[in-house]
Amino acid sequence: MASASLLVRAAAESPPLVIGAYRLAIASLVVVPAALVLEHRRSPLWARARVPVLQARAAIISGLFLALHLGAWITSLSYTSIASSTVLVTTTPVMLTLLPARWRGDPLAPLAVVGVLAAFAGGAMIALGDAGIDPGMAFGDALALLGAAAMVGHRITGRQLMRDGLPPLTFLAIIYPVAALSLVAVALPLGQPLAGFSAETYTALIALGLGPQLIGHSALNWALTRLSAVSVATAVTGGEPVGATLLGILFLREIPTITQTLGGVLVLGGTYLVLREEPGWSVPGEATARRPGDSNWRREG
């Protein structure tokens, strides 16, 4: 997933919302047929197609959150650095800890509070440092934070749906097309072209769809059936910013500033404290034990 930032820059000929739409559409071309074929082995087509109305509605909402996440984050890369953007967009676990315990699954431990404060201090250091360089970079930082907030909604709704019994592959087969169409619906009125790009741009778009989206994002959604939303989000925070920053240095010569580096260390360190205080992972085999319609959530740990 760390390669996503580099691939977005490689596809910069295409508008940001169109990049996100292509990324999701290409992943949909694989996920939707796979869901139809693989899930058909478990139940007849007519039975499988009957996704409960409430689940379908929640999946659509999750897809809209995903569209907002990608749209905001990809756009942020047009204004700010890869280092700032990836550090701030992966503050999702910190934002998750601020949710009510009944949504998050567990009470917030005292050390996790320290982690939250450290992460926010690091984010503020990055934003203020970038604003001193260029006000436009601060706007890009704000977009990255909006992308992180949208990912919170996507993670929470997705986790609840799959814990309710909706198969992960079916979930992905709904949210990817919904998110792709949503971005297209916004891009068209804005006059953003959907085609006419170079071969290099199309290659980068295909790589985005097959790599970070199909493999990376799909794996994270599957992980939500076994782990807490905070653990899954922290797995991204622990690796993506570091990997993306290193790739940016190697291929684009984007050297992080001192404030970006120090702020990033604070964000990653604070996120580590949040992860340390996670009560535990769900027991394998219990992930889908909850039947649709059950009134109480199974407690993690």
Sorted by where each begins, the domain ranges of the chain are: 3-276
Q: What integer best gives the mean pLDDT of the chain?
A: 77
pLDDT of residue 116: 72
Separation of alpha carbons 259 and 127, rounded Å: 9
Q: pLDDT category, 43, cuts 50, 70, 90? A: low
Mean pLDDT throughout 86-105? 72
Closest CA to 240 of 72, 50, 102, 86: 86
Percent of the chain with pLDDT over 90: 23
- Does pLDDT of 290 surpass 60? no
Classify the phi-psi angles of 108: left when phi > 0, otherwise alpha if psi is within -120 to 50, otherwise beta.
beta
DSSP-H helix ranges across 41-134: 45-48, 53-76, 82-89, 92-97, 101-104, 110-133
Q: What is residue 199's three-state secondary structure?
A: helix
More confident site: 169 or 231: 169
pLDDT of residue 248: 65
Separation of alpha carbons 163 and 104, rounded Å: 13
Which pair of tokens denotes residue 165? Answer: 């019994």
Q: pLDDT category, 146, cuts 50, 70, 90? A: very high
Backbone angles phi, psi at 107, to 5 degrees: -65, 160
Longest dimension (CA), the chain: 60
Cβ contact 84:130 at 8 Å: yes
Q: Tell me the residue length of the chain.
A: 301
More confident site: 221 or 66: 66
pLDDT of residue 294: 40
Which pair of tokens denotes residue 147? Answer: 């992308």
Which pair of tokens denotes residue 33? Answer: 């047929």
Mean pLDDT throughout 146-172? 84
Distances (CA, A) of 21 to 13, 90, 206, 230: 14, 21, 11, 27
Q: pLDDT category, 301, cuts 50, 70, 90? A: very low
Query: Mean pLDDT lowest for which of 153-157, 179-183, 231-235?
Result: 231-235
- Does pLDDT of 237 surpass 70? no
More confident site: 185 or 128: 185
Separation of alpha carbons 156 and 101, rounded Å: 12
pLDDT of residue 271: 72
Query: Which letter does DSSP use for residue 215 in this model?
Result: I
- Does pLDDT of 288 surpass 90? no
Query: Which letter does DSSP use for residue 53 in this model?
Result: H
Q: pLDDT category, 158, cuts 50, 70, 90? A: confident
pTM: 0.74
- Does pLDDT of 45 surpass 80? no
Integer distance in angstroms from the first to the last C-alpha of the chain?
A: 28
The H or E element containing residue 224 is: none
pLDDT of residue 150: 93
Query: Mean pLDDT lowest for which of 11-15, 233-237, 296-300?
Result: 296-300
Query: Which letter does DSSP use for residue 79 in this model?
Result: T
